Each structure stands twice: as structure tokens, then as C-alpha cells.
Amino acid sequence: AATGEFTGRTAGIVNMREGKLARLARWLDEQGLAASSVTTATFYSDSINDLPLLTAVGTPVVVDPDSRLRAEASRRGWPVISLID
């Protein structure tokens, strides 16, 4: 809140799902980089919540994914890696 009290509400763009992609686009703009820069980027994720960003990058890599992301990666032919021994 404006008074500085904790409300538990978010402010601005939440850094989840589509918000992560929106925040990245804003950051790229602030850096003077083209939004299309994401098409040459690599992004690693383990969560279905990152699907918007995974679909936007040139090289999506799925790491020890949750079951929904594993299924999506399989459907899209994305590489799936594991860092768990």
C-alpha cells in the first residue's frame, strides 16, 4: 500500500507466466535491444508456468520438468535434460 503497510497484493507486472515475457521485453527495450532478441536466446525451465517464455525463445530447454511441462516438451520436440543424480 502507499502507506508502506504489507497487503500481500502484487504491484506492476508479476514475474510469472506471460508477465515474465512482458518484463523481459521491457528490460530488452531499456537496454536498447530489439524484442526479437529472444528468438536467438536459450531459456531453461522446469515449470509449465514458463511456457510463454519457452515458446518465445529460439532454444527452449526443459530441465527436470513437472509432468505438464514434460508432456508439452514431448509434444513440441523440445530437449529435456536432468540435473538430478
- Is the pLDDT at 15 greater than 60? The verdict is yes
Model confidence pTM above 0.95? no
- 63 to 26, 31, 81, 85: CA distances (angstroms): 26, 28, 5, 13
Supply the pLDDT for residue 35.
Answer: 86
Q: Taking all residues of the chain, what is their mean pLDDT, rounded to a whole number?
A: 89
User: With 0-12 CB in 10 A as exposed, 13-18 as middle and 19+ as buried, what is 4?
Assistant: exposed
